[in-house]
Protein backbone atom coordinates (compact mmCIF):
# COMPACT_ATOMS: atom_id res chain seq x y z
CA UNK A 1 0.00 0.00 0.00
CA UNK A 2 1.13 3.55 -0.74
CA UNK A 3 0.12 6.56 1.32
CA UNK A 4 0.51 10.32 1.12
CA UNK A 5 0.78 11.97 4.53
CA UNK A 6 0.52 15.65 5.43
CA UNK A 7 1.35 16.52 9.02
CA UNK A 8 1.15 20.16 10.16
CA UNK A 9 1.99 21.68 13.54
CA UNK A 10 0.84 25.28 13.93
CA UNK A 11 2.05 27.26 16.94
CA UNK A 12 0.34 30.58 17.75
CA UNK A 13 2.05 32.64 20.44
CA UNK A 14 0.22 35.12 22.65
CA UNK A 15 3.12 37.54 22.33
CA UNK A 16 5.99 37.89 19.87
CA UNK A 17 8.68 35.26 20.27
CA UNK A 18 12.24 36.55 20.02
CA UNK A 19 13.79 33.22 19.07
CA UNK A 20 13.10 29.49 19.26
CA UNK A 21 15.05 26.24 19.11
CA UNK A 22 13.12 23.21 17.86
CA UNK A 23 13.56 19.46 17.42
CA UNK A 24 11.28 17.49 15.10
CA UNK A 25 10.65 13.82 14.32
CA UNK A 26 8.38 14.01 11.28
CA UNK A 27 10.18 11.92 8.68
CA UNK A 28 8.80 8.36 8.51
CA UNK A 29 11.14 5.52 9.31
CA UNK A 30 12.47 3.23 6.58
CA UNK A 31 12.66 -0.48 7.32
CA UNK A 32 12.08 -4.00 6.08
CA UNK A 33 8.34 -3.48 5.59
CA UNK A 34 8.27 0.25 4.91
CA UNK A 35 9.90 2.50 2.31
CA UNK A 36 9.97 6.29 2.28
CA UNK A 37 9.41 7.32 -1.34
CA UNK A 38 9.46 11.08 -0.74
CA UNK A 39 9.71 13.56 2.10
CA UNK A 40 9.45 17.34 2.14
CA UNK A 41 9.56 19.76 5.04
CA UNK A 42 8.32 23.36 5.06
CA UNK A 43 9.04 25.70 7.97
CA UNK A 44 7.63 29.22 8.38
CA UNK A 45 9.44 31.45 9.25
CA UNK A 46 12.06 29.77 7.03
CA UNK A 47 15.01 28.10 8.73
CA UNK A 48 17.93 25.84 7.91
CA UNK A 49 17.54 22.38 9.40
CA UNK A 50 20.19 19.96 10.64
CA UNK A 51 19.25 16.31 10.20
CA UNK A 52 20.64 13.32 12.08
CA UNK A 53 19.64 9.92 13.50
CA UNK A 54 19.13 9.41 17.21
CA UNK A 55 20.13 6.37 19.27
CA UNK A 56 16.91 4.57 18.24
CA UNK A 57 17.68 5.25 14.53
CA UNK A 58 14.84 7.73 14.18
CA UNK A 59 15.12 10.60 11.71
CA UNK A 60 15.52 13.82 13.70
CA UNK A 61 15.80 17.44 12.60
CA UNK A 62 16.72 20.53 14.59
CA UNK A 63 16.45 24.19 13.61
CA UNK A 64 16.84 27.64 15.17
CA UNK A 65 14.73 30.69 14.37
CA UNK A 66 16.43 33.94 15.36
CA UNK A 67 13.91 36.44 14.00
CA UNK A 68 10.86 37.59 16.01
CA UNK A 69 7.66 35.71 15.15
CA UNK A 70 4.13 35.20 16.47
CA UNK A 71 3.45 32.03 14.51
CA UNK A 72 5.45 28.91 13.67
CA UNK A 73 4.17 26.48 11.06
CA UNK A 74 5.91 23.14 10.47
CA UNK A 75 4.49 21.00 7.68
CA UNK A 76 5.88 17.63 6.63
CA UNK A 77 4.63 15.80 3.54
CA UNK A 78 5.61 12.20 2.88
CA UNK A 79 4.89 9.38 0.48
CA UNK A 80 5.35 5.95 2.02
CA UNK A 81 5.00 2.37 0.82
CA UNK A 82 4.02 -0.28 3.40
CA UNK A 83 3.94 -4.01 2.80
CA UNK A 84 3.23 -6.35 5.69
CA UNK A 85 1.57 -9.77 5.76
CA UNK A 86 -0.60 -10.86 8.70
CA UNK A 87 1.06 -13.58 10.74
CA UNK A 88 0.92 -13.00 14.48
CA UNK A 89 -1.94 -15.46 15.04
CA UNK A 90 -0.33 -18.00 12.71
CA UNK A 91 3.07 -18.18 14.41
CA UNK A 92 3.93 -21.38 16.22
CA UNK A 93 6.11 -20.35 19.14
CA UNK A 94 8.60 -23.21 18.98
CA UNK A 95 10.83 -24.62 21.70
CA UNK A 96 13.87 -23.17 19.92
CA UNK A 97 12.28 -19.71 19.92
CA UNK A 98 11.44 -20.12 23.61
CA UNK A 99 15.04 -21.03 24.47
CA UNK A 100 16.34 -17.92 22.71
CA UNK A 101 13.64 -15.77 24.33
CA UNK A 102 14.63 -16.99 27.79
CA UNK A 103 18.38 -16.62 27.23
CA UNK A 104 20.44 -13.99 29.00
CA UNK A 105 21.96 -12.86 25.70
CA UNK A 106 18.51 -12.06 24.30
CA UNK A 107 17.51 -10.17 27.44
CA UNK A 108 20.76 -8.19 27.49
CA UNK A 109 20.46 -7.22 23.84
CA UNK A 110 16.95 -5.80 24.29
CA UNK A 111 17.44 -4.43 27.81
CA UNK A 112 16.33 -0.85 26.90
CA UNK A 113 12.93 -2.28 25.94
CA UNK A 114 12.69 -4.35 29.12
CA UNK A 115 13.39 -1.54 31.57
CA UNK A 116 10.45 0.49 32.83
CA UNK A 117 10.23 4.29 32.74
CA UNK A 118 8.21 6.94 34.51
CA UNK A 119 5.58 6.92 31.76
CA UNK A 120 5.29 3.12 31.53
CA UNK A 121 5.60 2.03 35.17
CA UNK A 122 2.58 0.47 36.88
CA UNK A 123 1.83 -0.52 40.46
CA UNK A 124 2.16 -4.23 41.22
CA UNK A 125 -1.56 -4.53 41.94
CA UNK A 126 -2.41 -2.96 38.58
CA UNK A 127 -0.27 -5.47 36.72
CA UNK A 128 -1.75 -8.35 38.70
CA UNK A 129 -5.24 -7.07 37.87
CA UNK A 130 -4.44 -7.43 34.17
CA UNK A 131 -2.76 -10.83 34.51
CA UNK A 132 -5.61 -12.21 36.61
CA UNK A 133 -8.15 -11.00 34.04
CA UNK A 134 -6.37 -12.83 31.20
CA UNK A 135 -5.93 -16.07 33.12
CA UNK A 136 -2.37 -15.65 34.36
CA UNK A 137 1.09 -15.20 32.88
CA UNK A 138 1.64 -17.36 29.78
CA UNK A 139 5.08 -18.65 28.73
CA UNK A 140 4.11 -17.81 25.14
CA UNK A 141 4.89 -14.08 24.70
CA UNK A 142 2.76 -13.85 21.55
CA UNK A 143 -0.34 -15.17 23.27
CA UNK A 144 0.28 -13.11 26.39
CA UNK A 145 0.76 -9.89 24.39
CA UNK A 146 -2.40 -10.48 22.35
CA UNK A 147 -4.40 -11.26 25.51
CA UNK A 148 -3.13 -8.08 27.21
CA UNK A 149 -3.99 -6.05 24.11
CA UNK A 150 -7.56 -7.37 24.02
CA UNK A 151 -8.08 -6.84 27.75
CA UNK A 152 -6.87 -3.23 27.67
CA UNK A 153 -8.94 -2.47 24.60
CA UNK A 154 -12.08 -3.36 26.53
CA UNK A 155 -11.01 -2.17 29.99
CA UNK A 156 -9.83 1.32 29.03
CA UNK A 157 -12.30 3.85 27.67
CA UNK A 158 -11.08 5.96 24.76
CA UNK A 159 -11.44 9.55 26.00
CA UNK A 160 -9.35 12.35 24.44
CA UNK A 161 -10.17 14.66 27.35
CA UNK A 162 -9.11 12.34 30.18
CA UNK A 163 -5.32 12.60 29.92
CA UNK A 164 -2.42 14.69 28.62
CA UNK A 165 0.95 13.86 27.04
CA UNK A 166 2.42 13.84 30.56
CA UNK A 167 -0.02 11.29 31.99
CA UNK A 168 1.71 8.14 33.27
CA UNK A 169 0.54 4.57 32.76
CA UNK A 170 -0.31 4.37 36.46
CA UNK A 171 -2.55 7.43 36.26
CA UNK A 172 -4.29 6.33 33.05
CA UNK A 173 -4.90 2.85 34.49
CA UNK A 174 -6.49 4.36 37.58
CA UNK A 175 -8.76 6.46 35.37
CA UNK A 176 -9.46 3.49 33.08
CA UNK A 177 -9.50 6.12 30.32
CA UNK A 178 -7.16 7.77 27.85
CA UNK A 179 -5.96 7.86 24.26
CA UNK A 180 -3.65 5.71 22.14
CA UNK A 181 -0.59 6.94 24.03
CA UNK A 182 -2.09 5.74 27.32
CA UNK A 183 -3.15 2.32 25.98
CA UNK A 184 0.40 1.91 24.67
CA UNK A 185 2.15 2.99 27.89
CA UNK A 186 0.00 0.65 29.99
CA UNK A 187 0.58 -2.29 27.65
CA UNK A 188 4.33 -1.62 27.65
CA UNK A 189 4.34 -1.64 31.45
CA UNK A 190 2.62 -5.03 31.64
CA UNK A 191 4.68 -6.69 28.90
CA UNK A 192 8.03 -5.47 30.24
CA UNK A 193 7.07 -6.73 33.71
CA UNK A 194 6.52 -10.13 32.07
CA UNK A 195 9.97 -10.04 30.45
CA UNK A 196 8.83 -9.27 26.91
CA UNK A 197 10.93 -6.67 25.04
CA UNK A 198 8.42 -4.06 23.92
CA UNK A 199 8.82 -0.63 22.35
CA UNK A 200 6.67 2.44 21.78
CA UNK A 201 5.76 3.22 18.17
CA UNK A 202 4.63 6.61 16.97
CA UNK A 203 3.07 6.79 13.54
CA UNK A 204 -0.01 7.23 11.43
CA UNK A 205 -3.12 5.14 10.90
CA UNK A 206 -5.05 4.97 7.67
CA UNK A 207 -8.69 4.41 8.54
CA UNK A 208 -10.37 4.82 5.18
CA UNK A 209 -13.98 3.67 5.40
CA UNK A 210 -13.42 1.61 8.54
CA UNK A 211 -15.24 3.70 11.15
CA UNK A 212 -14.37 1.19 13.88
CA UNK A 213 -10.71 2.24 13.89
CA UNK A 214 -9.53 5.16 16.04
CA UNK A 215 -6.39 7.24 15.61
CA UNK A 216 -6.31 9.05 12.26
CA UNK A 217 -6.84 12.64 13.44
CA UNK A 218 -3.29 13.02 14.81
CA UNK A 219 -0.26 10.80 15.28
CA UNK A 220 -1.16 7.32 16.47
CA UNK A 221 0.68 5.02 18.90
CA UNK A 222 1.00 1.28 19.34
CA UNK A 223 3.29 -1.45 20.70
CA UNK A 224 5.90 -3.66 19.05
CA UNK A 225 7.24 -6.81 20.71
CA UNK A 226 10.43 -8.65 19.77
CA UNK A 227 9.96 -12.33 18.89
CA UNK A 228 13.08 -14.47 18.22
CA UNK A 229 13.33 -15.59 14.61
CA UNK A 230 10.51 -13.25 13.55
CA UNK A 231 11.47 -9.72 14.56
CA UNK A 232 9.34 -6.82 15.75
CA UNK A 233 5.58 -7.49 15.69
CA UNK A 234 3.12 -4.63 16.05
CA UNK A 235 -0.04 -4.71 18.18
CA UNK A 236 -2.50 -1.83 18.45
CA UNK A 237 -4.33 -1.94 21.82
CA UNK A 238 -6.45 1.12 21.03
CA UNK A 239 -8.11 -0.81 18.20
CA UNK A 240 -7.35 -4.39 19.34
CA UNK A 241 -5.76 -5.28 16.00
CA UNK A 242 -2.51 -6.61 14.66
CA UNK A 243 -0.50 -3.89 12.94
CA UNK A 244 -0.70 -4.41 9.20
CA UNK A 245 -0.23 -2.25 6.11
CA UNK A 246 -2.50 0.57 7.29
CA UNK A 247 -0.11 1.49 10.12
CA UNK A 248 2.76 3.80 9.07
CA UNK A 249 5.76 3.99 11.39
CA UNK A 250 7.19 7.40 12.20
CA UNK A 251 9.49 6.75 15.20
CA UNK A 252 10.32 4.11 17.82
CA UNK A 253 11.47 4.44 21.42
CA UNK A 254 10.99 3.40 25.03
CA UNK A 255 7.98 5.70 25.55
CA UNK A 256 6.41 8.90 24.20
CA UNK A 257 9.30 11.07 25.34
CA UNK A 258 11.63 9.33 22.87
CA UNK A 259 9.34 9.98 19.91
CA UNK A 260 7.65 13.35 20.45
CA UNK A 261 7.02 14.80 16.95
CA UNK A 262 7.89 18.38 17.90
CA UNK A 263 9.79 19.75 20.88
CA UNK A 264 11.14 23.23 21.42
CA UNK A 265 12.14 26.07 23.70
CA UNK A 266 11.47 29.75 23.10
CA UNK A 267 11.49 33.17 24.74
CA UNK A 268 7.95 34.48 25.04
CA UNK A 269 4.50 33.88 26.49
CA UNK A 270 2.07 30.98 26.24
CA UNK A 271 1.14 29.35 22.95
CA UNK A 272 -1.66 27.37 21.34
CA UNK A 273 -0.90 24.34 19.19
CA UNK A 274 -3.02 23.00 16.35
CA UNK A 275 -2.10 19.63 14.83
CA UNK A 276 -3.46 18.51 11.47
CA UNK A 277 -2.81 15.05 10.03
CA UNK A 278 -4.14 13.77 6.74
CA UNK A 279 -3.40 10.26 5.46
CA UNK A 280 -4.51 9.45 1.93
CA UNK A 281 -4.25 6.10 0.21
CA UNK A 282 -2.66 6.20 -3.23
CA UNK A 283 -4.60 3.86 -5.46
CA UNK A 284 -2.55 1.57 -7.69
CA UNK A 285 -2.82 2.40 -11.38
CA angle 196, 259, 100 (to 5 degrees): 20
Q: What is the span of the domain harbouring residue 148?
A: 88-258
pLDDT at 15: 87
- Give yes or no: residues 157 and 77 share one domain: no
CATH number at residue 239: 3.10.620.30
57 dihedral zone (left: phi>0; alpha: psi -120 to 50; beta)? left
Looking at the chain, the whole-number percentage of residues with pLDDT higher than 70 is: 98
pLDDT at 31: 87
Q: In the structure, what pLDDT confidence band is assigned to residue 284 with cuts at 50, 70 and 90? A: low
pLDDT at 91: 83
pTM over 0.85: yes
- Give yes or no: residues 118 and 165 share one domain: yes
pLDDT at 212: 80
Q: In the structure, what pLDDT confidence band is assigned to residue 266 with cuts at 50, 70 and 90? A: confident
Q: How many CB atoms lie within 10 A of CB 284?
A: 6
- Give yes or no: residues 15 and 104 share one domain: no
The mean per-residue pLDDT over the stretch 241-245 comes to 92
- Give yes or no: residues 72 and 128 share one domain: no
pLDDT at 84: 81
- Give yes or no: residues 187 and 246 share one domain: yes
- CA dist., res. 224 & res. 252, Å (int): 9
Domain count, the chain: 2
- CA dist., res. 244 & res. 228, Å (int): 19
Whether 85 shows a pLDDT value over 90: the answer reads no
Whether 285 shows a pLDDT value over 50: the answer reads no
Whether 273 shows a pLDDT value over 70: the answer reads yes
The mean per-residue pLDDT over the stretch 102-128 comes to 96
The mean per-residue pLDDT over the stretch 203-229 comes to 88
pLDDT at 264: 87
- Give yes or no: residues 207 and 94 share one domain: yes
Give the pLDDT confidence of 122-139 residue by residue, as tens digits: 999 999 999 999 998 888
- CA dist., res. 22 & res. 233, Å (int): 32
Amino acid sequence: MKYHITHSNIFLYESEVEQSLNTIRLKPRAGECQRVLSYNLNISPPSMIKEYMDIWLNNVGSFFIAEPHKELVITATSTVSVQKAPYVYQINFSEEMRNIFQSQLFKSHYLPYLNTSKLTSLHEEQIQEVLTAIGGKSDNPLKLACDVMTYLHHAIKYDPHATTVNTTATEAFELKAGVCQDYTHIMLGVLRYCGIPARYISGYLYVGKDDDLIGDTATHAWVEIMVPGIGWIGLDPTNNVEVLDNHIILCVGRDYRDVSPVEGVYQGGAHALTVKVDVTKIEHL
